[in-house]
Structure 1
Amino acid sequence: MGRSPFQVLIFPYLHKSDEILFAIFQRGKEGYWQGIAGGGEDTETPLQAAQRESWEEAGISSECKFVSLDSLTTMPVEHVVGGFLWGEDKYVIPEYSFGVELQERHLQLSHEHSQYNWVNYDAASKMLKWDSNKNAIWELNKRITKDSDKNWALN
């Protein structure tokens, strides 16, 4: 499969009564906390890549309710793939953010992560390393709390 020039970031969440919990993942070797993250492949759309990455990294079915977020950042290609994979003029690639609503806490970790934790927004925002993750989880938390009566899922 060919690597597409974009990244995806996904935060699984549980919304039960007045409690909202987010799953965050500890990166195996590096030890920092983040959402599920990965790159697009071949002709995948960002949503398709988010669904595939969620399955590969946490065992989350594509049948779950995925939410597209407005949060968007760009990332240096050298930090993502180590070099100028898409040509000398492609310096940064976009990272699209998603939430995915789950009904249970159990996740199946891939080798990329050493553990995961279900935490509230305040704890997640303190634990996450990357600003893009903090921004995306802020937006997701606001959408859930502000728009809980609206249907804004993609599937």
Structure 2
Amino acid sequence: MRQPYNVVVFIFRAGEYAVLQRADDGCWQGVSGGVEEGEDLVAAARRESAEEAGLAGPLYKLDMVSGVEKECFAAAAHWPEDLYIVSKHYFAMDATGQGEIVLSDEHRAVRWLAYEAAYDTLRYDDDKTALWELDQRLRHQALIG
């Protein structure tokens, strides 16, 4: 059973960020997915990165945490009635030397973009904030593993 948490992973390499286009609604985002029963946030971020992008690089937790309405998820019917917001926890993954991204059926395209272009391509403001944090951490050599 899916837990009421979501993870988003932004993949980066050498001054570029990967943005993935969802197959269902066409929006651009990072790797995104749910936390399964028995998983912690880090394990979910690693699993989703492997499933959606075929990557298993170094993973970094970002400070950014956001939320999304419970009704956006099919599993919401199984969650507590008094839960309204599902928290989104952000991570970054270094894809340096890992080869190309291999997309799952959940996405139809990937673009490697410089920060400004990636930021402008993202749909959601909270994703933009997380990408800004990642870019700032990379500029200040402040990623924490």
**Same fold, judged at TM 0.5 (above):** yes
The answer to whether structure 1 residue 97 and structure 2 residue 90 are counterparts is yes
Q: CA deviation at 1:123?
A: 0.2
Gaps of 5+ in 2: none
TM-score (normalizing by structure 2): 0.94
* Separation (CA, whole Å) in 2 of partners of 1:96 and 1:113: 20
Aligned to 2:32: 37
- Measured against aligned partners, the alpha-carbon deviations of 1:45-76 in whole angstroms (never above 9, x if no partner) come to 11100000000000012xx2101000000111
The answer to whether structure 1 residue 71 and structure 2 residue 64 are counterparts is yes
* Separation (CA, whole Å) in 2 of partners of 1:72 and 1:27: 21
- Measured against aligned partners, the alpha-carbon deviations of 1:102-149 in whole angstroms (never above 9, x if no partner) come to 114501100000010000110011100011110110000000001x2x
- Contact 1:57 1:109 survives alignment (8 Å): yes
Aligned to 1:152: 144
* Separation (CA, whole Å) in 2 of partners of 1:45 and 1:82: 18
> Which one-letter code corresponds to 2:9 in the other structure?
I
Give the CA RMSD over aligned residues.
Answer: 1.3
TM-score (normalizing by structure 1): 0.88
Gaps of 5+ in 1: none
The answer to whether structure 1 residue 142 and structure 2 residue 144 are counterparts is no
Q: CA deviation at 1:152?
A: 1.6
Aligned to 2:10: 11
Q: 2:54 aligns with which of 33, 45, 59?
A: 59
- Contact 2:137 2:143 survives alignment (8 Å): no
- Measured against aligned partners, the alpha-carbon deviations of 1:7-50 in whole angstroms (never above 9, x if no partner) come to 000001003xxxx1000000112111011000000111111000
- Contact 1:54 1:60 survives alignment (8 Å): yes
* Separation (CA, whole Å) in 2 of partners of 1:126 and 1:74: 21
Aligned residues: 144
